[in-house]
C-alpha cells in the first residue's frame, strides 16, 4: 500500500496520525506545525521532560526531536524513549543545526531513525516524515495481525497475555480491581461430532460476536484463549460489574439460538463462565487471577453448566494450640 493511500485510510477510519514535536524554540514548533497541521494531530513540547511525558501518555506515531535543549538534551530524551517499553517503538527523527558526522553517529546509537538539518526545507521534512510514518504504520498493522485470532477476529492468547500484564500493573498503581472471565462452550466436542468442524468454526465465530456486543468498554478485551475457551479481561471492574457482564454474555449466547441436539442442558449452544476479581498488590501473583478464574469455571461446569460462578477464596484454617 502506498504511503498516501495508507494515510488516507487512517484518516477515513478516524485514526489521524499523531506527531510530537519537541523543541525549546517555539518558532521551530510553529513552522513544523504549519507543514503537518492538515493531516496530523500535532503535539508540542518545549523541553525534554515534557516531551517524555507526552510521548508516554499520548503514544504519538512519530517524534521530531531537537538535539540542543537545556537541562535534558535530545540524546538523553531519545535514549530514555528507546528504553521505555511504552515508547520504544516510536520512531524519532532528530532536527538539528549540527552537521558533523559524529552527531549523526551518536544519534543513531541512541535510537534515532533519521536526521533533518536546520534551517529545514518543508518538502524534505515532509518527505522524511512520511517515509518513516509509513514504515511505522505498516509495522503497527503487522503487529496487530500477529495479535489477532485468525478464526474469530478476537485478540489471541499472545495479545491477552500482553493486556493482562498491562492492566495488572495499571490497576496495581491505581489500587483498583481487575476482573477476568473465563468462558467455555458447553459440550463443544459433542457439537463438532454432531454438526461437523465447519459448523463448529461458525459457532465459535458467532460466540465471538456475542462477546463483542456484551463487552463494550474500549478498555476491555475479549480473546480466544484456546480451542473453545474464551477470556474477557475487564480492568477497573469489581465483582458486581463482572457478574453483570457475565450475565449479559450468557444472555447474548442464548439469543444466538444455535441448535445443539447433543447438549444435556439445553437445545441450543450455551457457555459456562468462571469469574475472578482481584485488586493487585505485591503479595498476589498475576497467575493467581487466571487460576482462580479457571477454578470458578470448573465449578460452573460441575454445578450444571450454562451459568457463571464467582471465585471465592477458601476459608483460612485456624489451628488451635494444644
**pLDDT tens column, 10-25:** 655 566 889 999 999 9
Task: Mark whether 112 and 180 lie in a shared domain.
Answer: no
- CB distance 233 to 160 below 8 Å: yes
Asked whether residue 152 is assigned to any structural domain, the reply reads no
Asked whether residue 244 is assigned to any structural domain, the reply reads yes
Residue after which a domain boundary falls, among 94, 110, 144: 144
Task: Mark whether 41 and 134 lie in a shared domain.
Answer: yes
Residue after which a domain boundary falls, among 93, 115, 144: 144
Q: Is the peptide bond before 66 cis (omega within 30 degrees of 0)?
A: no
Task: Mark whether 26 and 161 lie in a shared domain.
Answer: no
User: What is the mean predicted confidence (pLDDT) over 88-99?
Assistant: 87
Task: Mark whether 298 and 205 lie in a shared domain.
Answer: yes
The structure's pTM equals 0.63
User: Residue 85 maps to which CATH number?
Assistant: 3.40.50.2300
Task: Mark whether 179 and 286 lie in a shared domain.
Answer: yes
Residue after which a domain boundary falls, among 144, 169, 204: 144
Look at the chain and report how many structural domains it folds into: 2
Whether residue 294 has pLDDT greater than 50: yes
- CB distance 272 to 300 below 8 Å: yes
Distance of CA 39 to the CA centre of its chain: 25
Asked whether residue 48 is assigned to any structural domain, the reply reads yes
**What local confidence, expressed as pLDDT, does residue 278 receive?**
95
Task: Mark whether 134 and 166 lie in a shared domain.
Answer: no
Residues 117, 98: Cα–Cα separation, whole Å: 7
Asked whether residue 116 is assigned to any structural domain, the reply reads yes
Query: Annotated catalytic residue: which of 71, 104, 109, 228?
Result: 228
Tens-place pLDDT, residues 71-90: 899 999 999 999 888 898 89
Task: Mark whether 241 and 173 lie in a shared domain.
Answer: yes
Task: Domain of residue 165: give its range.
Answer: 157-310
Asked whether residue 172 is assigned to any structural domain, the reply reads yes
User: How would you classify residue 96: left for phi > 0, otherwise alpha for psi between -120 and 50, otherwise beta?
Assistant: beta
Asked whether residue 223 is assigned to any structural domain, the reply reads yes
Task: Mark whether 128 and 170 lie in a shared domain.
Answer: no
Distance of CA 285 to the CA centre of its chain: 21
Tens-place pLDDT, residues 124-171: 888 899 889 888 888 877 777 788 998 999 999 999 998 999 899 889
Asked whether residue 317 is assigned to any structural domain, the reply reads no
Asked whether residue 19 is assigned to any structural domain, the reply reads yes
Q: Has 13 been annotated as catalytic?
A: no
Amino acid at each position: 500500500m502506498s504511503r498516501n493511500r495508507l494515510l488516507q485510510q487512517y484518516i477515513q477510519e478516524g485514526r489521524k496520525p499523531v506527531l510530537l514535536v519537541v523543541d525549546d524554540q517555539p518558532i521551530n514548533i510553529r513552522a513544523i506545525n504549519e507543514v503537518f497541521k492538515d493531516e496530523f494531530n500535532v503535539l508540542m513540547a518545549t523541553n525534554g521532560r515534557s516531551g517524555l511525558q507526552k510521548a508516554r501518555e499520548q503514544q504519538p506515531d512519530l517524534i521530531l526531536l531537537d538535539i540542543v535543549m537545556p537541562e535534558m538534551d535530545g540524546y538523553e530524551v531519545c535514549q530514555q524513549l528507546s528504553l521505555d517499553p511504552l515508547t520504544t517503538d516510536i520512531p524519532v527523527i532528530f532536527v538539528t543545526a549540527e552537521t558533523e558526522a559524529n552527531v549523526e553517529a551518536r544519534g543513531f546509537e541512541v535510537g534515532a531513525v533519521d536526521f533533518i538539518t536546520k534551517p529545514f526545507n518543508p518538502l524534505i521534512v515532509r518527505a522524511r516524515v512520511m517515509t518513516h510514518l509509513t514504515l511505522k504504520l505498516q509495522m503497527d498493522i503487522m503487529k496487530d495481525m500477529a495479535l489477532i485470532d485468525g478464526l474469530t477476529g478476537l485478540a489471541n492468547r499472545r495479545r491477552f497475555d500482553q493486556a493482562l500484564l498491562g492492566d495488572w500493573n495499571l490497576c496495581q498503581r491505581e489500587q483498583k480491581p481487575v476482573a477476568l472471565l473465563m468462558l467455555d462452550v458447553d459440550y463443544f466436542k459433542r457439537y463438532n461430532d454432531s454438526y461437523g468442524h465447519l459448523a463448529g468454526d461458525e459457532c465459535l465465530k458467532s460466540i465471538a460476536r456475542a462477546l463483542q456486543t456484551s463487552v463494550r468498554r474500549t478498555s476491555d478485551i475479549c480473546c480466544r484463549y484456546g480451542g473453545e475457551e474464551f477470556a474477557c479481561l475487564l480492568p477497573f471492574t469489581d465483582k458486581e460489574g463482572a457478574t453483570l457482564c457475565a450475565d449479559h454474555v450468557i444472555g447474548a449466547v442464548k439469543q444466538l439460538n444455535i441448535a445443539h441436539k447433543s447438549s444435556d442442558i439445553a437445545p441450543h449452544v450455551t457457555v459456562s463462565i468462571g469469574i475472578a476479581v482481584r485488586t493487585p498488590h505485591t503479595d498476589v501473583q498475576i497467575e493467581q487471577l487466571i487460576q482462580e478464574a479457571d477454578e470458578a469455571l470448573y465449578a460452573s461446569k460441575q454445578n450444571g453448566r450454562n451459568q457463571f460462578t464467582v471465585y471465592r477464596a477458601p476459608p483460612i484454617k485456624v489451628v488451635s494450640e494444644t
